[in-house]
Structure 1
């Protein structure tokens, strides 16, 4: 597992690169067949998903009926994990089991038990050799070294957020090309990434310590734009 630890460190270090904007265009992803079981096309924002074990890196264990994920430094021997093209082999990443191809959707994540993670969306066909945030097929908000940042295609922008909340929201407006990080205590979009989404997206998570718990099937808080 030494190699897995080293590549995990590399993935984290890429967050140090900065850029003035994260408004990005679309580039076709090179990857594998979609892992999610269905495509959500409803305009409502009640997307309900679980984490997809088929995509989970061997250092990640799912719990709470596949709505939570915990990082294990040693993890499972990769050779003992079912070999399939949907699994992340190099990066501590897991996808949600639903795809989104239209509409406006909202979910939340309990983050209080982790100090290093990424939350966002990625194209369902994103390469399983990449880490979320390091290519133009994924858009994430991350937390590391007690600081928040927005990231895509290896470029990061600091996100001003006082302290670290126990829980944050993610708002995706597919047609508007918006991914927002939401303050759930005082509902507002703290920071928004802009992009042109043209292929199905999955909720995406990267984790390098502790645990995260997802909460889907939620109504969007009033007042978000």
Structure 2
């Protein structure tokens, strides 16, 4: 059964808060009811780095472009190389690999961040949008000490106790789902269903602290078909 929530403030413009829906248009929304997925796609180890050409001016990459840190002031956008691939308004960065088939797994270490988003987005997604606010991106986010799943500006709470230091992301392109993984169990905590039709990139939004990505990983044993 779909969970109803109110889509309100969930994105930040660098240096200030932005409300994603006006008070007049704010209403209860829901994601499609969760389904039982049959995992049949080819499994390959995805290896990527973060793509500096897409990084918003408030984000700095480090550790050979596998990590990203948020700078409160960041760089003056006029001092950043003009690039149509770069996010202009939102603190978002894409990975440098495109996914158009298969089943892929990666992990993210969270360091001192209380607001971030992890997931995938179409490679050609508008650089004027934030991940999760349109139908071209699918993310799991953490804000105000709560987890949520988000796509098309529709939000569903994710029942996860606490904030783990490291989580996994599982994408099955053909089966049509993105999963948030508890790597300690391991188990899939929540899934977002979708019909992927275009190449995807791992996508990250960050409004404080740091994220460190870990790719070229084997999918953990024990992740089985679940109904979430």
Q: TM-score per shorter chain, which class?
A: 0.7 to 0.9
User: Aligned residues, how many?
Assistant: 203
Two-structure CA RMSD over aligned residues (Å):
2.0
- For the 8 Å contact 2:149–2:155, the answer to whether it is kept is yes
Q: Deviations over 1:81-107 (max 9, x none)?
A: 000100001000000000000000000
- For the 8 Å contact 1:22–1:157, the answer to whether it is kept is no
Q: Deviating runs (4+, > 6 A) in structure 1?
A: 11-14
Q: So what's the TM-score if we normalise by structure 2?
A: 0.84
CA distance in 2, matches of 1:122, 1:187: 25
Q: Which residue of 2 aligns with 1:50?
A: 49
- For the 8 Å contact 2:118–2:204, the answer to whether it is kept is yes
Q: Deviations over 1:32-88 (max 9, x none)?
A: xxxxxxxxxx93330000000000000000001100000001000000000010000
Query: Which is greater in Rg?
Result: 2
CA distance in 2, matches of 1:111, 1:126: 25
- The DSSP-based 3-state class of the residue aligned with 2:18 is helix
1:71 paired to 2:61: no
CA distance in 2, matches of 1:5, 1:68: 21
- For the 8 Å contact 2:114–2:209, the answer to whether it is kept is yes
- Structure 2: gaps spanning 5 or more residues: 1-12, 35-40
Q: Deviations over 1:154-212 (max 9, x none)?
A: 11000000111010000000000010000000011100000000100000000000000
Deviation of 1:5 after TM superposition, in Å, equals 1.8
- The DSSP-based 3-state class of the residue aligned with 2:98 is strand
| Cα distance change, pair 85–17 in 1 and its aligned pair in 2 (3 A) | farther
- Structure 1: gaps spanning 5 or more residues: 25-41
Structure with greater helix share of residues: 1
CA distance in 2, matches of 1:194, 1:150: 11
Q: Deviations over 1:125-161 (max 9, x none)?
A: 0000000000000000000000000001111000000
- For the 8 Å contact 2:14–2:72, the answer to whether it is kept is no
Correspondences of 1:117-196 after superposition (within 5 Å): 117-196=116-195
Q: Which residue of 1 aligns with 2:18?
A: 10
Q: So what's the TM-score if we normalise by structure 1?
A: 0.85
